[in-house]
């Protein structure tokens, strides 16, 4: 974990206030165990909430104690700093990671934001639900997918979402319709500091066998074209309008570019790999080198899809 000390330690009073509301905090939690890139330093505090009440309690205590809270989904779109995360890192479990059918013909589901999309897709397969293929191949949670408006070749999160129940900083619970969230390419307008607790999703009618076949073909194609042997966060950059980030990175001659143990994948230039033992700093340096080089050669600013998380204040480019 690199021996970093917390710049703003989680105070005992804050931990006790959380414990009094049923939320146990684990100090100095190694986040590299939770991040797909397998890098990142410690969280000052780490907690799992299992119900809406606990999530509300965290947001109330956080506002009262000026505690920064970072919600972690499956860590599949995050570069966590080697210095770790100051404040509390929160994961949604228990009732906030469950999937419930709301009507007789399973047209509507209520799904916890901590629920994994891979499980959602396999459950769709099993029950013959269609419409949720928008999540196929995305290794995140529903909360992360809403935050990112994640999508692959079979559609985007926005197409399956009815509304999302969100806990604002301070503890107010509000439901936002999909239109209110103004979701577009890999973005969603959630209020600052808010956390999605659960959401209603809609399934569609149609032929379940055709759905299963579509998903199978799609996943096979992805497996063949993506470098899945080493940890990555999938596509590092958004595609610029009318072009592909991967095409530009490859044309800039960056495939195979390596710094430390971080590498631009040979198989798919928009993927950055941890070959084993890379640091978050190595990965960030590679990412910024890609941005600089593509800008110098083609005048295009590549926008990151991957989020930087944690304390980057002492980072040296
Ligand atoms: C091999 C691979 C392939 C991928 N392919 C795709 C793809 O095809 N399409 C695609 O869109 N993405 C893809 N991704 C990226 C990633 O899986 C998605 O962005 C996913 O939606 C992230 O979900 P997560 O739960 O892992 O979120 P995290 O990475 O944990 O978090 C991402 C952001 O969402 C926020 N967040 C998480 N949960 C909540 C919540 N409950 N409330 C509010 N904010 C929240 C976090 O704070 C963070 O800012 C891929 C990643 C990998 C590793």
Dump pLDDT digits (tens) for 100-138: 999 888 789 999 999 999 999 999 888 888 899 999 999
The answer to whether residues 258 and 170 belong to one domain is no
Nearest alpha carbon, ligand 1 atom 41: 143
Residue in 154, 138, 150 with CA at minimum distance from that of residue 204: 154
The answer to whether residues 197 and 143 belong to one domain is yes
Question: From the CB of 233, is ligand 1 less than 6 Å away?
Answer: yes
Nearest alpha carbon, ligand 1 atom 27: 144
Provide the edge-to-edge strand list for the sheet that holds 26-30: 26-30, 42-49, 85-92, 69-72
> Considering the domain boundaries, does residue 8 fall inside one?
no
Range of the domain at 112: 97-224
At residue 265 the predicted structure's pLDDT band, cuts being 50, 70 and 90, is very high
**CA 162 to centroid of ligand 1, rounded, Å:** 19
Global pTM value: 0.95
> Considering the domain boundaries, does residue 70 fall inside one?
yes
The enclosing domain of 276 has a CATH number of 3.90.78.10
Question: From the CB of 40, is ligand 1 less than 6 Å away?
Answer: no
CA atoms of 272 and 256, how far apart (whole Å):
9
> Considering the domain boundaries, does residue 1 fall inside one?
no
Largest Cα span, the chain: 57
The answer to whether residues 190 and 137 belong to one domain is yes
The answer to whether residues 80 and 115 belong to one domain is no
**CA 233 to centroid of ligand 1, rounded, Å:** 8
The answer to whether residues 28 and 117 belong to one domain is no
The answer to whether residues 81 and 127 belong to one domain is no
pLDDT reported for residue 186: 93
Dump pLDDT digits (tens) for 146-185: 999 999 989 999 999 999 999 999 999 999 999 999 999 9
The enclosing domain of 89 has a CATH number of 3.30.43.10
The answer to whether residues 32 and 79 belong to one domain is yes
Given ligand 1 and candidates 150, 159, 160, 226, which is best to mutate, with the most ligand atoms within 8 Å of its CB? Answer: 150
pLDDT reported for residue 104: 83
> Considering the domain boundaries, does residue 316 fall inside one?
no
Per-residue pLDDT, averaged over 233-250, amounts to: 97
> Considering the domain boundaries, does residue 125 fall inside one?
yes
At residue 4 the predicted structure's pLDDT band, cuts being 50, 70 and 90, is very low
The answer to whether residues 104 and 209 belong to one domain is yes
CA atoms of 63 and 91, how far apart (whole Å):
18
Residue 221's SS3 state is helix
Strand segments, DSSP code E, in the chain are: 26-30, 42-49, 69-72, 78-80, 85-92, 99-101, 108-112, 151-152, 155-156, 161-167, 173-177, 195-202, 258-259, 262-264, 272-274, 307-309
Dump pLDDT digits (tens) for 41-80: 999 999 999 999 999 999 999 999 999 999 999 999 999 9
> Considering the domain boundaries, does residue 113 fall inside one?
yes
pLDDT at 211 over 90: no
Residue that finishes a domain, picked among 46, 63, 94: 94
CA atoms of 82 and 39, how far apart (whole Å):
7
pLDDT reported for residue 9: 65
The answer to whether residues 231 and 208 belong to one domain is no
Of 8-17, 214-223, 237-246, 260-269, minimum mean pLDDT range? 8-17
The enclosing domain of 148 has a CATH number of 3.30.465.10
Question: From the CB of 278, is ligand 1 less than 6 Å away?
Answer: no
The answer to whether residues 151 and 196 belong to one domain is yes
> Considering the domain boundaries, does residue 135 fall inside one?
yes
CA atoms of 130 and 211, how far apart (whole Å):
6
The answer to whether residues 60 and 81 belong to one domain is yes
Structurally, the chain folds into a number of domains equal to 3
Residue in 6, 14, 71 with CA at minimum distance from that of residue 43: 6
Residue that finishes a domain, picked among 38, 69, 94: 94
**CA 195 to centroid of ligand 1, rounded, Å:** 14
CA atoms of 285 and 296, how far apart (whole Å):
16
Beta bridge partners of 143: none
Residue that finishes a domain, picked among 206, 224, 242: 224
**CA 16 to centroid of ligand 1, rounded, Å:** 31
The answer to whether residues 101 and 215 belong to one domain is yes
> Considering the domain boundaries, does residue 315 fall inside one?
no
Per-residue pLDDT, averaged over 89-105, amounts to: 95
Given ligand 1 and candidates 79, 140, 190, which is best to mutate, with the most ligand atoms within 8 Å of its CB? Answer: 140
């Amino acid at each position: 974990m690199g021996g970093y000390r917390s710049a703003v330690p989680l105070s005992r009073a804050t931990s006790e206030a959380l414990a009094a509301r049923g939320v146990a905090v684990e100090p100095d939690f190694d986040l590299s165990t939770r991040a797909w890139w397998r890098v990142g330093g410690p969280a000052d505090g780490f907690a799992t909430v299992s119900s809406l009440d606990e999530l509300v309690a965290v947001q109330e205590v956080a506002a009262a104690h000026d505690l920064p809270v970072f919600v972690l989904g499956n860590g599949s779109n995050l570069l966590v700093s080697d210095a770790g995360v100051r404040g509390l890192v929160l994961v949604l479990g228990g009732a906030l990671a469950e999937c419930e059918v709301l009507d007789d013909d399973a047209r509507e589901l209520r799904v916890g934001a901590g629920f994994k999309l891979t499980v959602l897709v396999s459950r769709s397969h099993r029950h013959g639900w269609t419409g949720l293929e928008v999540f196929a191949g995305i290794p995140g949670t529903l909360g992360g997918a809403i935050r990112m408006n994640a999508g692959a070749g079979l559609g985007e999160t926005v197409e399956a979402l009815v509304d999302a129940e969100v806990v604002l900083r301070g503890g107010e619970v509000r439901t936002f319709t999909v239109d209110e969230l103004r979701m577009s390419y890999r973005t969603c307008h959630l209020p600052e500091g808010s956390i999605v607790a659960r959401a209603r999703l809609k399934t569609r009618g149609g032929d379940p066998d055709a759905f299963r076949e579509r998903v199978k073909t799609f996943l096979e194609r992805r497996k063949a074209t993506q470098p899945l042997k080493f940890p990555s966060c999938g596509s590092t950059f958004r595609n610029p309008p009318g072009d592909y980030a991967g095409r530009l990175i490859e044309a800039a001659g960056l495939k195979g570019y390596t710094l430390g143990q971080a590498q631009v994948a040979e198989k798919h230039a928009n993927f950055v790999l941890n070959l084993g033992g890379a640091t978050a700093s190595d990965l960030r340096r590679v990412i910024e080198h890609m941005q600089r080089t593509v800008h110098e050669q083609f005048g295009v600013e590549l926008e990151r899809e991957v989020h930087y998380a944690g304390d980057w204040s002492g980072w040296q480019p």
